[in-house]
Chain A
């Protein structure tokens, strides 16, 4: 082994001076992807999709076009929720399309909503689904599935969150595949050490895409260039901090979305950060510096109060979807945390404040979800130390890229100093491609941008 090749990649610029037509750019990218999926001579196509760039839409469209061209296919997703979501979207687009939903033998794994779809058949046995145009299941279920004859085509969704060994277990079922995923989100991991395979192309603990491309560097690679979710205020920050090699733009312009409140602010820190977020798309509510345990009661309460005031003040969002403002209801708001106990503490406090219906969850579980407004407890808030877990780029990226209108971050002061003093003495494995962006840099970059929208807890 000789280490990484000695070449330097050029960073693609974020677009020149020419006018940018997001719709046209996205359509061109989609056309190229579909063309390669149907006609490429190579067995795989890889698509990088930043947050909210229409990954699910692409998967549904590619699946329908393959089926329409007479190619039955299998779809691999990573969780049962993702599988059900895909089946519902397929049926919504084409209610006549025969879709099989392969599921595990335990009860309760399938969304009951699927039962109402006439052309969707669900079963725990692949034989029951023979002849369906499309069969969808999780990677875990596919890995236990045996068939006489495999599929010519497959789509692998959330491929960056799939581990290499999971792909190894299912890749024998298909001849060629479209791999779609978001490289900026959380990496797969292993609870046991896998260092002995570090640097190998097929390191079982690395991501499926990393292995795929290491063995097949000539596969066509595409990226979706437009985020339809993130507003114009958010796309540059998220793109710069987390996708320095695959920049994207927002599909909407600066004036296309707005957030307004029916009730004026009372001058408190909470209301002022809401006002700041309504104007700029970002808000940083900064609490006084203090070392705290994970479930910092003041920070948890601050998060809950922001949510409460957001709802109380009658937030309404206007977007390109319609001329009239739509109320931002509890269902359109989410709270994101790093740890489950933090999420539990926020839920309990929200319940004390009489707020219900707001999703509160960890970054892992918020992957792939979308809301109008998100309130985030910063992963490093109040921490005396910064571990690799809390620094992980994907965690911050997920938390900062779930919103259509605004994101409010609650954090104690002093995180920049914590980062600066945090020793970075990570081991380095030879032959492992350095993953960029660096988490340390990404955290600093995001903090620096958030600081422009800082509101103190008191005055």
Chain B
């Protein structure tokens, strides 16, 4: 945790309410997100207990599994979930625009510009917590290899239609969510902790109810008191006032209410199924409302300038997966091959660097953290001296001196960057401290001044102007080009075997072993 965030947490603790960590919203929020609040059965992998899902906060769809060990009920749940989620995901597929993009021509191997479809908007799935994101991945993994009767008439225990497709989409969203700054699948706790500092630890922030209690405490209660209440206050029946945000349930709920109700269901007691629906719905509803309350809080923040750029990449990601599904490609493999893994890692590292840079450029409070860390400095220009590069065609290389209270970690010749009004970055190099000490320093502009012998208007700061230089690049580039999977070198095991056996459907036995 940076010192500036530590300080914000301490201010929050002392004030009894959360303090802002940003001045703008750094994540895209859809006008019409799909919220999904899942619950799972304790001790089981991928045995859903229920979910609230939908785009209308007043009318969520409640899905429940009365007996998670019953395969038919589980499949029915997944089929209903697919029916609720897939139309939403598909709903963005057909409104498209066209964009130019560079592609490698398969025949000539050259880069050519092509017109490509880009969906005008993309779906956004919001779950309560990071555990919820992991659960979406788990559901994706457990369902995408299932075979439907249509795909394979011989399949034992065929899955209902659409369930494998749901798995492929959840897998895609889950993988995309690993890309820093991406917004197709978000957790509310991550969204809120990015924007507010509470007076508790990051571990305690994982509790959505406690987190909201700090950010928006109820009348008459301090954030701390409200958070402690959200964490552990129980009614006379021993149930938490604020059930966990899932997917894990409260053990006390399992033991005192759920287990007896399930026993009644198993014994065919009339009304037991309805009772279970009510019980599970009662655990889900507070979290559903909390997610929407968080959504409202975040919507009140103005979006950062680069948020729309990053959302466009999410739209590309969505469009590409739409195309893969339409082309009838098989489900994503269980484990990535060497080249795919390296490509994903490289793209995520680039995304992280871009996100870090863009958040700082969009938000003085984030930039303050980078300045404190010695990765940027701001100050008032005190002098500008004309200067030119050497060589046959001298170019302007003016020297800019500024006074700053910041203490950047500069080495001789360090490259610097600052945003110009058109959004592009201007490069410079560090020259020296004035009088050899911090407080005042000189940089030499090396770019962004046009091609003329005189710098383009507005491209050189004036004395008295406040400028901010960063030591980090503003639009960091991607990693190296990697070979195609079929060209995987011997150092990495050679090309992956065709049709990997590992991606067969999971074994199914007559006994229902969940």
Residue contact A144 to B342, C-beta cutoff 8 Å: no
A residues near B490, Cβ cutoff 8 Å: 43, 171, 215-216
Contact indicator per residue, chain A 154-185, by CB within 8 Å of chain B (1) or not (0)? 00000000001111110110000000000000
Residue contact B482 to A169, C-beta cutoff 8 Å: yes
Q: Is B138 an interface residue (CB 8 A)?
A: no
- Closest residue on chain A to residue B175 by CB atoms: A196
- Closest residue on chain B to residue A199 by CB atoms: B335
A208 to B336, CA, bound (A): 18
Per the CB 8 Å criterion, the residue count for chain A at the interface is 35
Q: Is A211 an interface residue (CB 8 A)?
A: yes
Interface residues of B in 463-498 (CB under 8 A from A): 479-483, 487-493
A208 to B492, CA, bound (A): 9
Binding stretch for chain A, among B54-62, B193-201, B346-354, B395-403: B346-354
A residues near B492, Cβ cutoff 8 Å: 164, 167-168, 171, 201-202, 211, 215
Pick the contact of B341: A172, A193, A202 (CB < 8 A): A202
Given contacts A192-B348, A200-B335, A341-B409, contact A165 B491 (CB under 8 A): no
Pick the contact of A201: B345, B351, B493 (CB < 8 A): B493
Residue contact B480 to A169, C-beta cutoff 8 Å: yes
A164 to B336, CA, bound (A): 15
Given contacts A172-B489, A193-B178, contact A204 B342 (CB under 8 A): yes
Q: Is B303 an interface residue (CB 8 A)?
A: no
Residue contact B489 to A168, C-beta cutoff 8 Å: yes
Q: Is the interface of A mostly helix, strand, loop or mixed?
A: helix
- Closest residue on chain B to residue A108 by CB atoms: B413
Residue contact B345 to A194, C-beta cutoff 8 Å: yes
Residue contact B349 to A191, C-beta cutoff 8 Å: yes
Given contacts A200-B335, A341-B374, contact A215 B409 (CB under 8 A): no
- Closest residue on chain A to residue B487 by CB atoms: A172
Least CB distance from B3 to A in Å reads 9
B residues near A144, Cβ cutoff 8 Å: 480-481
Interface residues of B in 162-195 (CB under 8 A from A): 178, 180
A28 to B352, CA, bound (A): 48
A451 to B335, CA, bound (A): 48
Considering residues A44, A190, A201, A202, which has the most beta carbons from chain B within 10 angstroms of its beta carbon?
A202
- Closest residue on chain B to residue A171 by CB atoms: B489
B residues near A133, Cβ cutoff 8 Å: none
Q: Is B76 an interface residue (CB 8 A)?
A: no
A residues near B483, Cβ cutoff 8 Å: 168-169, 172
Contact indicator per residue, chain B 126-168, by CB within 8 Å of chain A (1) or not (0)? 0000000000000000000000000000000000000000000
Pick the contact of A168: B178, B338, B348, B349 (CB < 8 A): B338
Residue contact B349 to A190, C-beta cutoff 8 Å: yes
A211 to B494, CA, bound (A): 12
A190 to B345, CA, bound (A): 8
Least CB distance from A200 to B in Å reads 6
A216 to B491, CA, bound (A): 7
A108 to B411, CA, bound (A): 14
Considering residues A164, A197, A202, A204, which has the most beta carbons from chain B within 10 angstroms of its beta carbon?
A204
Q: Is B208 an interface residue (CB 8 A)?
A: no
- Closest residue on chain A to residue B179 by CB atoms: A192
Least CB distance from B282 to A in Å reads 34
Q: Is B339 an interface residue (CB 8 A)?
A: yes
Q: Is A203 an interface residue (CB 8 A)?
A: yes
B residues near A211, Cβ cutoff 8 Å: 491-492
Residue contact A165 to B335, C-beta cutoff 8 Å: no
- Closest residue on chain A to residue B410 by CB atoms: A344
Least CB distance from B400 to A in Å reads 20
Q: Is A71 an interface residue (CB 8 A)?
A: no
Residue contact B345 to A171, C-beta cutoff 8 Å: no
Q: Is A340 an interface residue (CB 8 A)?
A: yes
A194 to B344, CA, bound (A): 10
Residue contact B481 to A143, C-beta cutoff 8 Å: yes
Residue contact B493 to A202, C-beta cutoff 8 Å: yes
Considering residues A168, A193, A197, which has the most beta carbons from chain B within 10 angstroms of its beta carbon?
A168
Residue contact B491 to A166, C-beta cutoff 8 Å: no
A residues near B487, Cβ cutoff 8 Å: 172
Pick the contact of B352: A165, A191, A196, A344 (CB < 8 A): A191
Least CB distance from B476 to A in Å reads 11
- Closest residue on chain B to residue A214 by CB atoms: B493
A144 to B477, CA, bound (A): 13
Residue contact A169 to B491, C-beta cutoff 8 Å: no
Interface residues of A (CB under 8 A from B): 43-44, 108, 140, 143-144, 164-169, 171-172, 190-194, 196-197, 200-205, 208, 211-212, 215-216, 340-341, 344
A-B contact pairs, 20 of them (CB 8 A): A43-B490, A164-B492, A165-B341, A168-B339, A168-B483, A168-B491, A172-B483, A191-B353, A192-B349, A196-B178, A202-B492, A202-B493, A203-B341, A204-B345, A211-B492, A212-B491, A216-B490, A216-B491, A340-B409, A341-B409
10 A-B pairs with least C-beta separation: A143-B480, A171-B489, A165-B342, A202-B338, A204-B342, A169-B480, A215-B493, A171-B491, A192-B348, A204-B345
Given contacts A211-B491, A215-B492, 18 further A-B contacts (CB under 8 A): A108-B413, A143-B481, A144-B480, A144-B481, A165-B346, A168-B492, A169-B342, A169-B481, A171-B489, A192-B178, A192-B348, A196-B178, A201-B493, A202-B337, A204-B341, A208-B491, A215-B490, A341-B409
